[in-house]
Chains A and B, each alone.
Chain A
Amino acid sequence: DAKTTQPNSMESNEEEPVHLPCNHSTISGTDYIHWYRQLPSQGPEYVIHGLTSNVNNRMASLAIAEDRKSSTLILHRATLRDAAVYYCILRGRISSGSARQLTFGSGTQLTVLP
């Protein structure tokens, strides 16, 4: 399975933008890039996913490099509630075994400072 590399930890100030990087140099052409986050004492929560183009939703934006070997999750204005472990995950397309599971790495622990 293709793997992702993320920094172990990052800090941000409240109400400032946060850019969380992810490297996935062995990504295949059919892998989707998913981001989940896990708040303390909770199960993971879906944030966003994309294939090639940049994506936006109410929670965040996902910027995908042109060669797809890296991506960046952007939180436009961090709040204290955004403090969590953020996981970047590659997920195969329909009918592939890797489509049926999420392979979590260690993720990035985001600390938001007031």
Chain B
Amino acid sequence: DAGVTQSPTHLIKTRGQQVTLRCSPKSGHDTVSWYQQALGQGPQFIFQYYEEEERQRGNFPDRFSGHQYPNYSSELNVNALLLGDSALYLCATGTGASNTGELFFGEGSRLTVL
């Protein structure tokens, strides 16, 4: 049973560019959340997708957007990249929009903005 898979694992962009990160959920999961983790800090919630809609959003500007497909996979898009967007981006999946059970995380996509 494949767990949560994210791609790419590492990427380098320059300021002002745009980036798309991808996440395939664990089998049987229908909810995808995205987190940003700066070096030395805990992950911060960006948003959650369920039934192809954004259900909850953290304190992030609208340069951060997402999408969920009918097969439950998801994309995170970041426009007009800033140096401060350099971080590990984590995808977490679960079942149901408000299920309080465990979430499964991928290993993340490491974004470096130069």
Contact = CB atoms under 8 A, between A and B. Distances in A.
A101 B33 contact: yes
A94 B94 CA distance: 13
Given A87-B42, A91-B100, A43 B105 contact: yes
A22 to B, nearest CB: 13
A20 B107 CA distance: 24
A52 to B, nearest CB: 14
How many A residues are at the interface, by size bracket? 20 to 34
How many B residues are at the interface, by size bracket? 20 to 34
B100 A93 contact: yes
Contacts, number: 61
B107 to A, nearest CB: 5
Most central of A43, A46, A49 by chain B CB within 10 Å: A43
Interface stretch (B12-20, B43-51, B69-77, B78-86): B43-51
B104 A103 contact: no
A43 B90 contact: yes
Contacts of A106: 41-42
Contacts of A45: 105
Interface of B: 4, 33, 35, 41-45, 48, 55-56, 58, 90, 92, 97-108
Interface of A: 32, 34, 41-46, 49, 85, 87, 91-97, 99-107
